[in-house]
Structure 1
Amino acid sequence: MESDPPFHEKYKNLFSSFAEKAGNSKAAHENEPVMADECAPPVVDLRWLSAGDMEQKECCKREIAGAANQWGLFQVVNHGIPREILARIKREQVKLFRIPFHKKANDRFPNLPAEYYRWGTPTASSLTQFSWSEAFHIPLENLAKLKLLNSTLSKTIAEFAEATSELAQGIAEILAENLGCSPTFFSKNCLRSSCYLRLNRYPPCPISSQVFGLVPHTDSDFLTILYQDQVGGLQVVKDGRWVNIKPNPDSLIIIIGDLFQAWSNGVYKSMEHRVVSNHRVERFSIGYFLCPSNETVIQPCHQPSIYRKFSFGEYRQQVQQDVIATGGKIGLRRFLTCRMKISAQTL
């Protein structure tokens, strides 16, 4: 069975193992939350932050904080990123992924390190841990000297990164103010050079009922800004059920990550999400990830703390170790305080 990238060829043992077990085992995803209908998460109109009076501005801030607490995911409209930039980066992204696979995989791009291009899941030991997708992972610290394929692509990525960086900082500061914490934490620790972009493509999948486009996970950053096309496929856990997030052409999606859950002492929720694969059509998305430097210490500004303090570098290293050892991410459970671990064990 052919695919682009060649998933079946690269991971033939994984697919063969699944086929052998399929007739003698229960459904591969039987332990997941029950599927629910399509659902629209909160939509926040950001125009009131600049165009509204004081009451409207404060109401908008409360909507942002409430969505981060109740959902961990919300949509923003009138976000300030020009449609022209969004349309242009989508066009450039599609052209980038249209390059033949052997050129992408063999690092034949000028000034582009091989690890920037990723596909499949090398650590997967079963199909439940496998993602049917490919991506360009671009640290913004290298953006100024990065010449991907042409000046148009590089310029567009730089413009998109600048606009989303400003948006991410603004939302993070609002969430910090709501906690009574210093909003300057993010301008000091989450510099644009420590953040990154990820350009995603989810190819058509002939076994879409068996494989995820992107496996269930939480993001390890403070927050993610996601720009997606209109194909659909993003799902999140809400009240113990997976729900489909209907694409909105006028919105960007904000996803709260692990660091914000820890930094807020559990007030804001890191949203578990996934992407289901599509049998017929491909899907594209772009994520901007608001990250601090590896040395930044994550510690709630209010006590008693649910989580022990840790550096971002320590957290990333632990996640990588867990993925290699178990095939999946354990995440914040590793960083609960001793008191919280004991409480969880007694429940």
Structure 2
Amino acid sequence: MAGNLEQAKALKRSLPTLSKEVTVPSAFIRNEEERPKVAHDAFSNNVPIVSFVDIDSTDSARRSAVFRNIVDALETWGTFQVIDHGVDPTLVSAMADLSTRFFQLPAEEKLRFEMTAGKRGGYAVSSHLFGEEIENWREFFTFFSYPVESRDFAMWPEQPKGWQEVVERYCEANMKLASRILEVLSESMGLEKGAFKEACLQMDQKVLVNFYPRCPQPELTLGLRRHTDPGTITILHQDHVGGLQITRDGGRTWLTVKPIDGAFVINLGDHAH
């Protein structure tokens, strides 16, 4: 049993080099019903896009239109893409660049921050959950950033240079955006502006940075298995490669969310539902 566990760990840690192979190891191959139904770049234009340009407008009609668009998108789709959200695009680019450079570091450097039992964050391959039967084709780095006192800087990498400064600014900007969206949802439902935020008691924020290496047989595996998001709200940024897929009929059909420059994908989490 111990030998099998060590073999699985070794396989997962070798994922960056497996992208150079011509076949996918059996540990990553999904059952037929779980395999991708739509290509990662077969983008759909149907996912709602909501501009926040009038979110604080003094014109009540224009402001109400934004509220209505958000509610309609969430009731119909459970998700939308937000543009004109106020997060500095140079900050988003800096965060994306640093993330890419982190995953380009040698394996031994990344494994200094390996997520092991008892740790609330760090670097890992596939999943942080023990005992999953099929591996995910991804590397990731995760950590808690709010409340501020929950930050474990010992688990924040020193490289690439500038990581901590950029991450702190990025987390602050996204926390403000999340708070604003929760306020809008509260008002849209006829509640006090801070109702949803107060219901959360403490506004936690968890950052998850995913990297999906090139896959030799993408039709057989998934970067991340089908799931719902925990928490209240997810703010997701995807690069131009895309790959995020959603369903609104229980998984019978899937749509690939088209990447839009400067946009965030907003998902309601399990707690909000």
Instruction: Specify if TM > 0.5.
Output: yes
1:214 is aligned to: 224
Q: How many residues align?
A: 243
Q: Which protein has the bigger strand share?
A: 1
For the 8 Å contact 1:4–1:203, the answer to whether it is kept is: no
Query: Which deviations, in whole Å up to 9, do the C-alpha atoms of 1:169-189 show, x marking residues without a partner?
Result: 111121122223344244333
1:83 is aligned to: 89
The structure 2 residue matched to 1:241, chosen from 223, 236, 253, is 253
Tell me the CA shift for residue 103 of structure 1. Answer: 2.3
Where do 5+ consecutive residues of structure 1 fail to align?
A: 20-26, 262-347
Aligned-pair identity in percent equals 26
Instruction: Give the whole-Å Cα distance in 2 for the aligned partners of 1:213 and 1:18.
Output: 9
Q: Would you say 1:178 and 2:188 are equivalent positions?
A: yes
Give the partner amino acid of 1:30. E
Give the partner amino acid of 2:229. D
1:95-110 superposed matches below 5 A = 95-107=101-113
Instruction: Give the whole-Å Cα distance in 2 for the aligned partners of 1:235 and 1:35.
Output: 8
Give the partner amino acid of 1:89. M
The structure 2 residue matched to 1:29, chosen from 32, 50, 57, is 32
Where do 5+ consecutive residues of structure 2 fail to align?
A: 1-9, 19-23
Query: Which deviations, in whole Å up to 9, do the C-alpha atoms of 1:157-204 show, x marking residues without a partner?
Result: 111111110111111121122223344244333544x21111111111
Q: Which has the higher contact order (CA 8 A, sep 6+)?
A: 2
1:259-338 superposed matches below 5 A = 259-261=271-273
> The residue matched to 2:184 in structure 1 has which SS?
helix
Query: Which deviations, in whole Å up to 9, do the C-alpha atoms of 1:272-326 show, x marking residues without a partner?
Result: xxxxxxxxxxxxxxxxxxxxxxxxxxxxxxxxxxxxxxxxxxxxxxxxxxxxxxx
For the 8 Å contact 1:107–1:114, the answer to whether it is kept is: no
Q: Would you say 1:148 and 2:157 are equivalent positions?
A: yes
Q: Would you say 1:6 and 2:14 are equivalent positions?
A: yes
Instruction: Give the whole-Å Cα distance in 2 for the aligned partners of 1:18 and 1:137.
Output: 21
Instruction: Give the whole-Å Cα distance in 2 for the aligned partners of 1:34 and 1:251.
Output: 25
Q: Would you say 1:47 and 2:53 are equivalent positions?
A: yes
Tell me the CA shift for residue 208 of structure 1. Answer: 1.4
Q: Would you say 1:256 and 2:265 are equivalent positions?
A: no
2:136 is aligned to: 131
Instruction: Give the whole-Å Cα distance in 2 for the aligned partners of 1:114 and 1:195.
Output: 13
The structure 1 residue matched to 2:43, chosen from 24, 38, 44, is 38
The structure 2 residue matched to 1:164, chosen from 174, 186, 192, is 174
Tell me the CA shift for residue 83 of structure 1. Answer: 1.0
Instruction: Give the whole-Å Cα distance in 2 for the aligned partners of 1:18 and 1:99.
Output: 23
More divergent stretch after superposition (201-210 vs 79-88):
201-210
Note the aligned Cα RMSD (angstroms).
3.2
Q: Could you state the TM-score of these two structures normalised by the residue count of structure 1?
A: 0.62
> The residue matched to 1:92 in structure 2 has which SS?
helix
Q: Would you say 1:74 and 2:80 are equivalent positions?
A: yes
The structure 1 residue matched to 2:237, chosen from 223, 227, 246, is 227
For the 8 Å contact 1:143–1:158, the answer to whether it is kept is: no
For the 8 Å contact 2:16–2:213, the answer to whether it is kept is: no
> The residue matched to 2:31 in structure 1 has which SS?
coil
Q: Could you state the TM-score of these two structures normalised by the residue count of structure 2?
A: 0.78
Tell me the CA shift for residue 90 of structure 1. Answer: 1.1
The structure 2 residue matched to 1:201, chosen from 203, 208, 211, is 211
For the 8 Å contact 1:106–1:114, the answer to whether it is kept is: no
Q: Would you say 1:62 and 2:71 are equivalent positions?
A: no
Instruction: Give the whole-Å Cα distance in 1 for the aligned partners of 2:172 and 2:38.
Output: 37
| Structure 1 residues 133 and 167: alpha-carbon distance in aligned structure 2, compared to 1, 3 A threshold | same
More divergent stretch after superposition (246-255 vs 29-38):
29-38
Instruction: Give the whole-Å Cα distance in 2 for the aligned partners of 1:8 and 1:199.
Output: 16
